[in-house]
């Protein structure tokens, strides 16, 4: 969902410049129609957005793919080829997980761009992955806490690499190496960031210092921050927003961990105990704990609603009534973060959430869970200095005392005030980047090959690659 939201916002930018945009959607075999109401809401709010669903493909049980999204994209190529061949497509923009679609773009002579929904620092890592592979025969898992060094970014422990890359003899490792190689075959890379947020990484990438020897660095276009322009399906009087209306300014700690973030029952109770002990006001989105039956192929299915009576400590809701609100599974995160009452965001460090927090000027407590989030947490704390990490996030349990201490640190301490001021400064830079003539807006308005493609209303881009 996070990738889909970003792609929709990118499409809106292109449409604002007169292009006709169709977003191609690949549904997983176990699709629960979770995206159906969302896409319908987007279409209702933006009638000019067109969606095309490719026919569903089947993942054989015998395959047991570690990264089903990559496999789905590859198996869907034949349907994508049929669709693109029947349309007047001038430019193809592919998501990171849909890198296989580059083969279709090449076959049909359509200039193809990568869209990186993560930040420039994560992009630098993936661009440098081949070099890292050649420099050592050890897997990231074997390296443990040894630091990984990539030009232009803060070094991070090897243990913080994304899980599919941890063992170099796993099929997923080779698949992601192939994705990395495809980055350099693209017409350019569009990144959901802005240079002022990650200047060292952006400048290093553009200078070619992350590119493996013998390859050329594609043009890189920083066009962010792209965040949801509206929360689809949010009704007036939403419980979360209505409650926030009754709270003092910058007084509430907001805890939300993305569309896939889930804690064990034990960890959930530790969070509850920590929030209660902190004495701070809070708004907390709680999801059902993962089960032993969860797998790579089922993790995108909608979990059951949490049972607060069995999940939360006895009497917790009564004892915190008035200063805390616990909601089930979902809250309108963009609107919550933009509310004046919110003063701290406890986040899983997904890049969409990071950018929403930056755009709202809300300081972050980093609690990464999966994907590239542990890397993001390091970058946020040590490079961008817009977050402080929860100690123990990389261990079995973050204890209640840590939750209470870190929440009070952000909300009540002088260091927390400084963190808030830095975040507000980043917010001003983000808004400046998007204004007319700002760094991100200017990239779209005249940015080299991409700017030429966006200005072009004819089909010459099919034959002209310059």
Q: Report the DSSP beta bridge partners of residue 387.
A: 364
Spatial neighbors of 318 by CB under 8 A, at least 6 apart, are none
CA distances from 433 to 66, 360, 453 (A): 38, 15, 21
Residue 52 is among the residues annotated as catalytic for this protein: no
Residue 225: asked if its preceding bond is cis (omega within 30°), the reply is: yes
Which candidate in 3, 103, 133, 394 is catalytic? 3
Q: Where are the beta strands (DSSP E) in 297-427?
A: 324-328, 342-347, 364-366, 387-389
Spatial neighbors of 275 by CB under 8 A, at least 6 apart, are 253, 255, 282, 284, 320, 324, 403, 404, 407
Which candidate in 71, 79, 95, 160 is catalytic? 95
Residue pair 305/328 in contact (Cβ under 8 Å)? The answer is: yes
DSSP string, 201-246: HHHHHHTTTTSPTT-PPPPEEE------SS-TTPPTT-HHHHHHTT
SS3 content of the chain, % helix, strand, coil (to 5): 45, 10, 40
Residue 64 is among the residues annotated as catalytic for this protein: no
Residue 443 is encoded by which pair of tokens? 């990239």
Positions marked catalytic: 3, 95
């Amino acid at each position: 969902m996070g990738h889909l939201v970003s792609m929709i916002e990118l499409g809106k930018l292109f449409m604002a410049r007169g292009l006709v945009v169709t977003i191609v959607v690949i549904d997983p075999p176990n699709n629960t129609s979770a995206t159906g109401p969302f896409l319908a809401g987007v279409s209702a709010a933006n009638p000019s957005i067109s969606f095309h669903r490719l026919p569903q493909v089947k993942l054989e049980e015998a395959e047991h793919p570690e990264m089903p999204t990559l496999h789905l994209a590859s198996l869907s190529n034949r349907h994508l080829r049929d669709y693109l061949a029947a349309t007047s497509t001038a430019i193809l923009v592919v998501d990171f997980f849909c890198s296989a679609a580059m083969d279709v773009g090449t076959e049909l002579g359509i200039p193809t761009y990568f869209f990186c929904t993560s930040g420039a620092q994560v992009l630098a890592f993936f661009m440098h992955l081949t070099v890292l592979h050649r420099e050592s025969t050890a897997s990231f898992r074997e390296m443990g806490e040894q630091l990984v060094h990539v030009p232009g970014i803060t070094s991070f422990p090897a243990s913080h690499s994304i899980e599919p890359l941890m063992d170099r003899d796993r099929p997923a490792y080779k698949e992601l190496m192939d994705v990395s190689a495809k980055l350099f075959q693209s017409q350019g890379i569009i990144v959901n960031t802005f240079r002022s947020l990650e200047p060292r990484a952006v400048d290093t990438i553009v200078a070619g210092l992350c590119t493996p020897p013998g390859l050329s660095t594609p043009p890189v276009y920083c066009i962010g921050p792209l965040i949801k322009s509206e929360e689809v399906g949010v009704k007036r009087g939403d419980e979360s927003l209505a409650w926030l209306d009754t709270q003092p300014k910058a007084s509430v700690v907001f805890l939300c961990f993305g569309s896939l973030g889930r804690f064990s029952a034990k960890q959930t109770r530790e969070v509850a105990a920590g929030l209660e002990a902190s004495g701070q006001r809070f708004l907390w989105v709680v999801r059902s704990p993962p089960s032993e039956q969860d797998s790579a192929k089922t993790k995108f299915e909608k979990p059951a609603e949490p049972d607060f009576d069995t999940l939360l400590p006895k009497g917790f809701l009564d004892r915190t009534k008035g200063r805390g609100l616990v909601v089930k599974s979902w809250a309108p995160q963009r609107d919550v973060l933009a509310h004046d009452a919110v003063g701290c965001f406890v986040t899983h460090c997904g890049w969409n959430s990071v950018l929403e927090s930056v755009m709202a000027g809300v300081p972050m407590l980093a609690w990464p869970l999966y994907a590239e989030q542990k890397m993001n947490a390091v970058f946020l704390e040590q490079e961008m200095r817009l977050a402080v990490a929860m100690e123990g996030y990389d261990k079995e349990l973050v204890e209640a005392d840590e939750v209470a201490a870190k929440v009070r640190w952000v909300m009540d301490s002088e260091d927390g005030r400084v963190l808030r001021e830095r975040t507000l400064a980043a917010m001003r830079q983000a808004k400046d980047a998007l204004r007319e003539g700002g760094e991100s807006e200017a990239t779209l308005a005249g940015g080299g090959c991409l700017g030429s493609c966006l200005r072009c209303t004819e089909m010459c881009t099919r034959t002209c690659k310059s």
